[in-house]
Amino acid sequence: MKIGITGASGKLGQLVVSKLKEHISAEDIIALVRTPEKVESLGINARTFDYNQPNKLAAALKGIDKLLLISGNEIGKRFLQHSAVINAAKEVGIKHFVYTSLLKADSSTLVLAPEHLNTEKAIKASGLDFTILRNGWYNENYTERVKDTVAHGKLYGSSSDAKISSASREDFAEAAVVVLCEDKHRNKTYELSGDLAFTMEDYASEISKLTGKKIPYVNLPEKEFASVLEQAGLPEPVAAFFAGTHTATLHGDLYDDGNQLNQLIGRPTTTISKSISKAL
Ligand SMILES: NC(=O)c1ccc[n+]([C@@H]2O[C@H](COP(=O)([O-])OP(=O)(O)OC[C@H]3O[C@@H](n4cnc5c(N)ncnc54)[C@H](OP(=O)(O)O)[C@@H]3O)[C@@H](O)[C@H]2O)c1
């Protein structure tokens, strides 16, 4: 049984590969990546696979039984890119197609949602056996900037007291591995989120507790928050996008209490506190 992993050069993909190697032989895992040299250290076979070259995808999938399509990162281009992968998977008869979607893709107000939902629809229309992993936010979306927050002495945001149930990238990687290794997840859609929800105020308190430095949370209107991010060096579109994700939090888009991630991986999800400690 050969398993192909797209995005294996990315942060989530590398974690998936290293965890998958604990379950199946490295020879049975194939990295499907734009630049095979980038994944040499993973110790698995790699094939060139660029979502933007639809005519070359089916040949690269030959002999692969199960495929994990890790969603691409070029926002706006992804539906076409993902459709090309789905068509190629259908052409070669992939037996199980697994896709990393977005939490509540069918109701989320995040600008990211339509591409994910349309991809989900295309997967279902293809007739392939599938599993949709609707991944919630990564803890690391917050904690990768925690050192800057501590240095600055304040945490800015615009999500008021809305709840966020994120989990670590590692948790989501583990869920993907479980689904790839067990047959009982076919034709299911999972809403994956962390067990313990937190607000930005809670997040600031955790940082304060772990560093011994009082970090207050300052809630701002979305536009003001975006300009604070720009002043901190983020390019304008990135700042606007990130501030928009905070507003989406107000609609409950980053919150879910179904505990499906915990159930899939068979353990509690990684708390934001643990991820802060790791990042510090
Ligand atoms: N849940 C969340 O909080 C969250 C946050 C950020 C992103 N995401 C989504 O989850 C995905 C995985 O997250 P991540 O942290 O691993 O992101 P990442 O590190 O940016 O990885 C993205 C991967 O997609 C690959 N890719 C991009 N365009 C491609 C193309 N045209 N053809 C083939 N491969 C292509 C990249 O390959 P290269 O190495 O060649 O660039 C990389 O391996 C992201 O791509 C995004 O869709 C989710």
Residue 131, H or E segment: strand 130-135
**Domain, as residue range, for 51:** 3-135
Residue 246 inside a domain? The answer is yes
Say if residue 152 is in the same domain as residue 72. Answer: no
What's the confidence (pLDDT) of residue 232? 87
Q: Are residues 99 and 145 in the same domain?
A: no
Cα 125 to averaged position of ligand 1 atoms, centre (Å): 24
Picking from 94, 117, 135, the residue at the C-terminal end of a domain is 135
Index of the ligand 1 atom closest to the CA of residue 38 = 39
Give how many domains the chain has, as a whole number: 2
CATH number at residue 17: 3.40.50.720
Ligand 1 close to Cβ of residue 38 (< 6 A): yes
Question: What's the rounded Cα separation, in Å, for the pair 63 and 49?
Answer: 15
Q: Tell me, yes or no, whether 94 and 157 share the same domain.
A: no
Assess if residue 127 is contained within a domain: yes
Which of 5, 11, 12, when mutated, tests ligand 1's pocket best, judged by the most ligand atoms within 8 Å of its CB? 12
C-beta of residue 194 within 8 angstroms of C-beta of residue 139:
yes
* 44 and 13, same domain (yes or no): yes
Looking at the domain assignment, is residue 207 inside a domain? yes
User: Which residue, among 164, 157, 149, has the nearest Cα to 211 in the 3D structure?
Assistant: 149
Tell me, yes or no, whether 116 and 231 share the same domain.
no
DSSP string of 12-73? HHHHHHHHHTTTS-GGGEEEEES-GGGGGGG-SEEEE--TT-GGGHHHHTTT--EEEE---S
Between CA 133 and CA 140, with CA 137 as vertex, the angle to 5 degrees is: 125
Distance CA 166, CA 139 (A): 5
- 25 and 149 together in one domain: no
Co-location of 131 and 145 in the same domain: no
116, 135, 154 — which closes off a domain?
Answer: 135
CA distance linking residue 254 with residue 135, whole number of Å: 10
User: For residue 49, which atom of ligand 1 is closest to its CA?
Assistant: 33
Q: Is residue 201 part of a domain?
A: yes
Helix (H) or strand (E) holding 142, with range, is helix 140-143
For residue 234, being part of any structural domain is answered with yes
Tell which atom from ligand 1 comes closest to the C-alpha of 72: 45
Q: What is the pTM of this model?
A: 0.97
Report which of 172, 202, 170 is spatially closest to residue 264, judged by C-alpha positions.
172
| Tokens standing for residue 270 | 């990684």
pLDDT tens, per residue, the chain with 280 residues? 999 999 999 999 999 999 999 999 999 999 999 999 999 999 999 999 999 999 999 999 999 999 999 999 999 999 999 999 999 999 999 999 999 999 999 999 999 999 999 999 999 999 999 999 999 999 999 999 999 999 999 999 999 999 999 999 999 999 999 999 999 999 999 999 999 999 999 999 999 999 999 999 999 999 999 999 999 889 999 999 999 999 999 999 999 999 999 999 999 999 999 999 999 9
243 within a domain of the structure (yes/no)? yes
Q: What is the DSSP letter of 167?
A: B
- The CA 256 to ligand 1 mean position distance, Å, reads 23
Is 179 a member of any domain?
Answer: no
Q: Is 194 in the pocket of ligand 1 (CB under 6 A)?
A: no
Question: Residue 197: its pLDDT value, please?
Answer: 97
How many other C-beta atoms can be found within 10 angstroms of the C-beta atom of residue 40? 10
**Are 120 and 151 members of one domain?**
no
Same domain, 158 and 95: no
Report helix, strand or coil for 141.
helix
Q: Which atom of ligand 1 is nearest to the CA of 74?
A: 28
What residue type is assigned to position 25 of the chain? S
- Ligand 1 pocket residue status of 145, Cβ below 6 Å: no
22 and 99 inside one domain: yes
Look up residue 158 and give its DSSP letter: S
> Quick one: which atom of ligand 1 is closest to the CA of 100?
10
Residue closest by Cα to atom 33 of ligand 1:
50
Whether 137 lines ligand 1, by a CB cut-off of 6 Å, is yes
Residue ending a domain, among 118, 135, 152, is: 135
- Between the CA of 50 and the centroid of ligand 1 the distance, in Å, is 12
Q: Is residue 14 domain-shared with residue 129, that is, in the same domain?
A: yes
Residue ID of nearest Cα to ligand 1 atom 1: 137
C-alpha neighbours within 13 Å on the C-beta side of residue 168: 19
**Range 82-86, long-range pairs (CB < 8 A, 24+ positions):** 82/51, 82/115, 82/119, 82/122, 83/119, 83/122, 84/51, 84/52, 84/54, 84/57, 85/6, 85/51, 85/57, 86/119, 86/122, 86/123, 86/126, 86/128
Nearest to 207 by CA among 113, 139, 135, 120: 139
Residues in the chain: 280
- Provide the token pair at 168: 């670590």
228 falls within a domain: yes
Domain with residue 224: its CATH number is 3.90.25.10
Whether residue 60 is found in the same domain as residue 83: yes
